[in-house]
Structure 1
């Protein structure tokens, strides 16, 4: 049979069959496009080391976890409850744009940093109960500024985020966040690709914080583990066959460091960034490589590479951080 007769075969010309074929192809793409590693919030003392490691292994890692950072030391019961939610995103499901996170693990997550739970503050070393509670509050505000603030997400204005950090950290990050010729800015804040906007619902966040003494004098470390979900406004795009068409998720594990003056000089006293790692799921690969977040429906290539990590790892804070990269 020649190519022209194959193209005109009655089965291939049937509209129902064409719609089925398109849906099957898009489902395969969506399954393949769900895994991409992205480093976030590199520790200022380890930027060069982390960059070298990324080049060696193909993913960003900003530090080596210590015994203090293991999940067993974190208050599992304190995390925001998602017991009534599914553990994965369905391949096919009706999507209500007024409630886009229904039928996803994020359906009962919080819309604010209140989704980051903490244990009761206690005295840690020289840091009083009030100091520890203040550290939790400051880290929550910083995470909200980096991940949830629409001025950062849609307007790409990171001034509010910078204002929460020490003067020294501001000086280090300001040129990085302003430089869009590389993707390094995406290691610190989440920005949507130009032309994309979120629905009014969300972003959604689920996570937990814990605190410990730092490795130096007058240093407190707040460890954060959280997942954020973003629901994009699809505009006129149709059909939407699953929440994965319009939603992207980012999982992060990171340290934030509080230093006091004295002994530190005033420019270094306050909140700084520590080591961490992150992973992005169900996103457009082109924008991700440039440091931006965009939904999968914006890319139609059917040649995304395979990945091996179970998607439940994205949403389960007790599971190891996914490691495979496909973008």
Structure 2
């Protein structure tokens, strides 16, 4: 039996009834007033199903409620920050401090004050400058600011630029060269010194053979005894600058003021032992003389003066090496003055005429 009958007695197919009933639900005229049980079943099913046709242009669909995911994201980020702080507090502080801090910008003039104190964190093999102002300093030669060259005295601007570059080369060869730091002779550095400057040549001839207060390699060069001390990592942090002016007889006087920070440990350990930062600040005045007025050789300078300040580099009789005080050797001189080795706001006080024991000043931080 069909789903419905026409007035003439013929039967409708199910497909025709389903189409007819869809139109009836939409309000089309001519729908049967008394549909059969099959028709009522189809009608109920159509009303319960969503419309399969396109939505009308005036139709309104209520918006779905937004999922509250914002607070979940904030909570996740906060948890990650806490984990980062717990695992690497030094790096996290540097990350949020940014790279525009005064100690990260190149030094172009003497600073007005010492860098601020940070968290008191111990250095590690992975982070040997952790807890130190040097953590934000540049590495190697990049930390030595060279000013723009201009003509001075007997030199053109191009010659001044070349002299400034070679002055920085001397600082690199004397304080950053890996071989020199391991105790080798500073051949590249000494080749830049005027061979006719008698007092300095006398120092160089005797300092490495028989070091003394007067003739000590450390007056000009940074050296560690390889059987005792080992550098941690491949990076030495530096901060400083070159400046220049005209000197006597039209000479170019170049002043260098640079601090070197060397992280070191015992040579006979795998790097898990105590890490010490030896800090050396050097101030040099170099004279690039006119060969027509002063006896010199092309491409070399004469050393007018040299000063240095050192902390965690050892006390006692000169050995020709920096001797960081590890473990029980780390003695404190109660009578020694306290200095902040990172304070570059005042000139350094150690000169070639300084007396014994001046290198034993106590560092207020390292």
Question: What is the TM-score of this pair, normalised by structure 1?
Answer: 0.64
Out of 249, 262, 266, the residue aligned to residue 230 of structure 1 is 262
Deviation string 1:48-91 (CA, Å, 9 cap, x unpaired) is xxxxxxxxxxxxxxxxxxxxxxxxxxxx952699x9x964586x
The Cα of 1:280 is off from its aligned counterpart by: 0.2
Residues 1:219 and 2:248 are matched in the alignment? no
The Cα of 1:278 is off from its aligned counterpart by: 1.1
Match of 1:178 in 2: 208
Out of 110, 120, 135, the residue aligned to residue 138 of structure 2 is 110
Match of 1:137 in 2: 165
Residues 1:316 and 2:343 are matched in the alignment? yes
The Cα of 1:152 is off from its aligned counterpart by: 1.1
Question: Which residues in structure 2 correspond to 1:1-327 (within 5 Å)?
Answer: 78=108, 87-88=116-117, 92-169=120-197, 171-183=201-213, 184-195=216-227, 196-215=229-248, 217-234=249-266, 235=269, 240=274, 245-267=275-297, 270-286=300-316, 289-297=318-326, 299-300=328-329, 302=331, 304-311=333-340, 314-322=341-349, 325=358, 327=360
The Cα of 1:225 is off from its aligned counterpart by: 0.8
Corresponding residue SS for 1:296: coil
Distance in 1 separating the partners of 2:117 and 2:153: 41
User: Retained in 2: the 8 A contact 1:284–1:297?
Assistant: no
Distance in 2 separating the partners of 1:177 and 1:302: 26
The Cα of 1:279 is off from its aligned counterpart by: 0.6
- How many residues align? The count is 241
Higher helix proportion (structure 1 or 2) = 1
The Cα of 1:150 is off from its aligned counterpart by: 1.5
Corresponding residue SS for 2:196: helix
Bigger RCO of structures 1 and 2 (CA < 8 A, at least 6 apart)? 1
Match of 2:96 in 1: none
Corresponding residue SS for 2:304: strand
User: Retained in 2: the 8 A contact 1:190–1:292?
Assistant: yes
Corresponding residue SS for 1:167: coil
The Cα of 1:253 is off from its aligned counterpart by: 1.6
Distance in 1 separating the partners of 2:156 and 2:176: 29
Deviation string 1:159-188 (CA, Å, 9 cap, x unpaired) is 121112223248445413432343522212
Pair 115,192 (structure 1): closer, same or farther in 2 beyond 3 Å: same
The more displaced of 255-264 and 163-172 is 163-172
Deviation string 1:78-119 (CA, Å, 9 cap, x unpaired) is 2699x9x964586x5242212201221111222222211122
Pair 172,130 (structure 1): closer, same or farther in 2 beyond 3 Å: farther
User: Retained in 1: the 8 A contact 2:219–2:306?
Assistant: no
Question: What is the TM-score of this pair, normalised by structure 2?
Answer: 0.58
User: Retained in 1: the 8 A contact 2:175–2:181?
Assistant: yes
The more displaced of 261-270 and 247-256 is 261-270
The Cα of 1:266 is off from its aligned counterpart by: 4.5
Q: CA RMSD in A?
A: 3.1
Structure 2 stretches of 5 or more lacking a match? 1-105, 351-356, 361-366
User: Retained in 1: the 8 A contact 2:263–2:276?
Assistant: yes
Deviation string 1:233-270 (CA, Å, 9 cap, x unpaired) is 34257664xxxx51110112210111122233354873
Structure 1 stretches of 5 or more lacking a match? 1-75
The Cα of 1:197 is off from its aligned counterpart by: 1.6
Larger radius of gyration: 2
Corresponding residue SS for 1:168: coil
Pair 246,259 (structure 1): closer, same or farther in 2 beyond 3 Å: same
The Cα of 1:146 is off from its aligned counterpart by: 0.8
